[in-house]
A and B are shown apart, each in its own frame.
Chain A
Amino acid sequence: MTELALPKIDKKTLDKKDYIFKSLAKLINPEYVLSHKDEIKPYETDGLSAYKQTPLAVVMPENTKEVSSILKFCHEENIKVVPRGAGTGLSGGALPLQDAVLLSLGKFNKILEIDFENKCVVTQPGVTNLGLTHAVQHKGFYYAPDPSSQLACSIGGNVAENSGGVHSLKYGTTTNNILGVEMVMMDGTICRIGGKTLDQEGYDLMGLICGSEGLLGVITEVTAKILKKPQVVKAALIGFPTIEEGANATSEIISNGIIPAGMEIMDKALIEATDNFSKAGYPRDAELLLIVEVDGTESEVDVLLKDVSSICKKNNCSSLKLSQNERERLSFWSGRKSAFPACGAMAPDYYCMDGVIPRGKLAEALLEIKRLSEKYNLPVANCFHAGDGNLHPLIMYNGADKEQFRKTEEFGAEILKACVRLGGVITGEHGVGVEKRELMCEMFNDTDIQQQLDIKTSLDEKNLLNPGKVYPILRKCAEEGRVHVHRGEEKFPDLPRF
């Protein structure tokens, strides 16, 4: 099990457990204060199921006032709080702590207002990402960020992680697609940021909250922007005989002034795995497969696809197919969307990484991953949001073999370090959580991290809200070593991950 370094357990909190349960039960409906071990077991972990911790208690408030009173109480009593949305996050951001109250936003599951006139939806944070689109699609609208877990992940969690998706190059991530939030600070203060207007005046607190991984406040309401669906969407499926040629083609597409709605790459290992799994009809002889999706008007889409085709032909593509109808377009995506379960079928466990590199370094990155795969003697399959440089190598291993498991972790860390060396970052969309805490030092020095910690302290001076996440526990970068071990079982096997 886990040997993860976590904040020091506060004995005083454990000693007054019963008092805490009783007090919480006075603040909200007592039925929604869970403390029995059977009741709280489902909350032991999030999407990164290798780490497990039993929370002190789970509370499920039903409105903002209750969230505020819980946080105020915990603040006064020096009790840690871990906020949780749908619990689908892949970096352990919602991992409970033994001496912390787990604050679940599960009861915040209603859409409050659909405002077509102002092109926005006001929603509680527990509504799923896809739930937003479902609420407005009858009028041809949708919510743009589309993380692969959109069926289950909550919009509040999306704000906490600044979730992206396949279409983020053209349509941005969560931070570019929300207009306002209501948030409760650790001391119980309720704060409204933004609203139904574009931008806001003063410090961009919404920009700060997006991607802050639940460390600065608890989101209780979100106003999300909605967009009209594009007139026409078409895709191309292109195979390349070498990694370099495919990588060059993707760079050329961008440098020719084309911004595809989505651009995805899969390597040979993944082409085979997904084609076996989903029978998508992918070109099995290709070393690299590229899916390019474009949207706009009919003629614009045709012109763009013509340009994409000629760039790919110039780069010696071995196969090229353009979607002739919606059914065919979706079939191009079906294999890609089954990438994670397909890897799950090939090995007992897999470990999904989430680095970002400049697009132009793709070939270099893939060759480095190949070299590391040989060094560690562990198979790896690669998928890549080529449009925005987000790489998801999937390392396959057997979690029962402790030594192999240790090697997998080292392999993963080396990939992320290589991403930073190539000019990229250690996480594009999964967040830092507990998983990549110590890798923060690959990107930031002590002064950079201190500035971020100062912001945290200014808004949560007792460091009670989601402590032990994002930043190295032992403050100084050099002091943090790799101390944790985890197993790669997938908590949500049914969710597509890409």
Chain B
Amino acid sequence: MSTEVRKNSQIFQDSNNTYYPEDETQISSIVKELFKKNQPAEVVGLGSKIFIGNKIQSAKKLSLSKLSGIIEYLPEELYIKVKANTPVELIEKELEKNNQELAFEPIDFGFIENGKSNKGTIAGCLSCNFAGSRRFKVGSVRDHILGFRGVNGKGDIIKSGGTVVKNVTGYDLSKLVSGSFGTLVALSEITLKVLPKKKSSNTITIHTEDKKLVNDLFEKISSSSSEVSGAIYVPEEPKDDSYNQNKEMIFKFNDLKFQGSFLALRIEGDKLSIEERIKVLTNELELKNLNTSILDVHQSVPLWKKINNLELFGNTKNNLLRAVIPPSKGNELIQKIGNKFKYYIDWCGSLYWIEVHSNKNSKIAEIKKLIIELGGYLTIVKKSNEFDYEETTFTIDETRLLISEKIKKSFDPKRIFNPGKMYRGI
């Protein structure tokens, strides 16, 4: 052990072989040491999404939980710079003071893990790059990262990007780090783009069992200029007690007929423009012929929060899959899986959350094959305890895997960070 690390080792390392660096210089010293000794480490924040990804074989842990706090927040410049492991909740509270928000709607994965809220840290959110319901309108997590600082697998402190939205100075490493599940850089600082919060929100719900109509409506919604900022479909079929119990419990709103399937679309803005948009959409979607209701702001906001936080699958002990497809393939997908698995559709027909019972693990491979055939990709976000095969968490083809291996090597040649978490060899 080098003198520097030995000197600090009591601060850094607890009895579980977990290091707790307090700043990027300390991260750098630890990683240099791990590099020298060829010792891989699992990079963790608050652990809220630790169940996502393949299991890691490493004796050491690198907890970045002490790197927390807001560094600089300039509302008029539309950015906030934070230490990488700042809790998302803290950032949201700070932004709320200025009527601003993270427009990509961070997902609270705590609900599917154990039924309790745990939004985790912003570094975790970035590392997974899973955006909420507003994705199809405002972009993903990666579209809101302006820059970062961190330590690569050799222990070098590196940075990329800045605090401005327009920036083509060098490779855009912020994008590369987003969705890398901590396999490239141990992040120390993140700058995020923030946006003004919309003044109000209304939701139109359309009650229908007709899946073809649902996909037609999604198509019309995405062709509309009415800036719909959320569009989901929650089906009733297949009948399943726990799912329907969840539904009844979380969708108790005055104007929502929760028994039965429904499509919901969100319109945000000031009161006048919401009214105007609802009028336009009523025409465009021919709503007069359908069974609809409108949720006011007090019902609309909690509905989307519950949807966004996957509360429909709260506390699930089963496998939870996240499939993204070209929206035009919706009918085909529903036809094949719709009556067999519990699911709901988000992102205006692009994103499917599918629950696969723990006694049907073998079906996952079939669904994955189907999704790839449809031109999409599939992630196993949560695995049941009985899940017994490895290396299938993510989808990738051979050429991209080869390129990804090369990129991994350029950041982390000895595979110190989260080896195998995404793919074998990465």
A residues with a Cβ closer than 8 A to B are 115-119, 140, 161-162, 164, 168-169, 172-173, 175-176, 185, 189-193, 195-208, 210-212, 216, 228-231, 251-252, 254-255, 257-259, 296-300, 303, 356-360, 385, 388-390, 423-432, 440, 443-444, 447-452, 454-455, 457-459, 470
Contact = CB atoms under 8 A, between A and B. Distances in A.
B248 interface: no
A428 B129 CA distance: 25
Interface stretch (B11-19, B200-208, B398-406): B398-406
Nearest to A471: B170
B35 to A, nearest CB: 14
B104 to A, nearest CB: 11
What are the nearest 9 A-B pairs in CB distance? Answer: A207-B175, A257-B196, A300-B273, A255-B76, A428-B166, A196-B326, A454-B410, A458-B406, A458-B410
Contact of B168 (A202, A357, A389, A431): A431
B77 A189 contact: no
Nearest to A449: B170
Contacts of A164: 166
B411 interface: yes
B256 interface: no
Interface in B138-178: 139-140, 142-143, 152, 156-160, 162-176, 178
B223 A201 contact: no
Contacts of B400: 191-193, 202, 205
A459 B403 contact: yes
Contacts of A196: 326, 328, 375
A458 B409 contact: yes
Contacts of A192: 397, 399-400
Contacts of A252: 76
B269 interface: yes
A138 B174 CA distance: 36
B327 A172 contact: no
A425 B169 contact: yes
Contact of A199 (B324, B375, B404, B422): B324
Given A191-B399, A195-B326, A451-B158, A161 B276 contact: no
Contacts of B423: 202
Given A201-B377, A203-B176, A299-B273, A172 B156 contact: no
Given A298-B276, A451-B411, A210 B175 contact: yes
A425 B410 contact: no
Nearest to A169: B165
Contacts of B171: 208, 211-212, 216, 452, 455
A255 B75 contact: yes
Interface in B171-229: 171-176, 178-180, 184, 195-197, 219, 222-227
B273 A296 contact: yes
A259 B131 CA distance: 21
Contacts of B197: 257
A297 B156 contact: no
Given A360-B77, A388-B164, A118 B403 contact: no
B396 interface: yes
B361 interface: no
Given A211-B171, A259-B195, 11 more contacts: A173-B166, A198-B135, A198-B347, A204-B178, A229-B225, A296-B273, A297-B276, A299-B272, A358-B77, A454-B410, A459-B403
Contacts of A173: 166
Interface string B379-406: 1000000000000001111011111101
Contacts of B76: 251-252, 254-255, 359-360
A88 to B, nearest CB: 15
11 contacts: A118-B328, A175-B143, A197-B376, A201-B379, A202-B400, A205-B400, A207-B175, A356-B164, A356-B167, A457-B410, A458-B407
B328 A211 contact: no
A473 to B, nearest CB: 15
B170 A356 contact: no
Q: Which of A201, A230, A450 has the most CB of B within 10 A?
A: A201
B78 interface: yes
